[in-house]
Amino acid sequence: MILAAGYGTRMQDLSRDVPKPLLPMNHLRLIEIALHKLANQGFQRVVINVHYIARSIMEFLGDGSRYGVEILYSQETHLLDTGGGIAHAEHYFRGETILTLNADVISDIDFQALYHHHVQHRAVATMAVFPSRNNRDYRLVIYDDWNRLKGFLPRSRPLPESDLTGIFMGYAILSPAARAYLTPRPQSVIDAFYLPALQNKEPLFVYPFRGQWYDVGDKSSYLNIRQKIQEGQISLETMMR
């Protein structure tokens, strides 16, 4: 499931008339990079939640056949945030474990490796994490040497000395048991699932990833990454494998 319903306010004027997932990234639109990557890694069905200028996204992407996948749209009459958006689309998932991804991240991550990590640890949920100590710009994920999720560190809070930290990359594996925590009303997946699940001692894990990962969620980072792609410093082909 690609999460693509938001207003894209951090893009400022760039998303005034165009939804963030359709912003151009070289010869492609941002969300097309994710679709090509999913298809190249063997995914066949992709659910996309939409709200802001939803019609533009649905008309542009169509049924997904030109990307080699079937696209199913989960339309939200009002924004449901990450947790509510996933719950609202539950009828599409057929009781299966799913991959969720944000529309505004680019990476050369291997989704099959992420899934195998999830299965190996018999996890209820697994988050892909980019190891980092940058607590100024991000709310960090806290985990231990065995990759067990321990909690979340608000921005600018003191870093834990004995635990590892990283940035949530926007990719997660969620089992049906994880999604059972969610309801189709406005709620974040962190507050509605991860925090209660930690209290319940559910097996939650992280997948540390040290490859290429780019957060293009705001105007400055988007323009910077787009320029690097145009200059050949970042290969879109690599990001879509």
CB contact set of 61 (below 8 Å; sequence gap of 6+) = 31, 32, 35, 48, 67, 71
Note the pLDDT of residue 99.
98
Q: What is the pTM of this model?
A: 0.97
How many C-beta atoms surround the C-beta of residue 141 within 10 A?
Answer: 26
Question: What residue ranges define each of the domains in the chain, with the CATH number in brackets?
Answer: 2-234 (3.90.550.10)
Q: What pLDDT shows up at residue 203?
A: 98
Instruction: State residue 6's pLDDT score.
Output: 96
pLDDT at 106: 98
d(CA 209, CA 38): 18
Residues 222, 14: contact at Cβ < 8 Å? yes
Which mean pLDDT values do the consecutive 10-residue runs of the chain (241 residues) have?
97 97 96 98 98 98 98 98 98 98 98 98 98 96 98 96 97 98 98 98 98 97 97 97 96
Q: Is 62 exposed, middle or buried (0-12, 13-18, 19+ CB in 10 A)?
A: exposed
Residues 6+ apart with CB under 8 A from 201: none
pLDDT of residue 173: 98
CB contact at 8 A, 34 and 101: yes
Q: List the structure tokens of 9.
A: 């306010």
Gap between the Cα atoms of 34 and 99, Å rounded: 12
Residue 19 burial (CB count, 10 A): 26
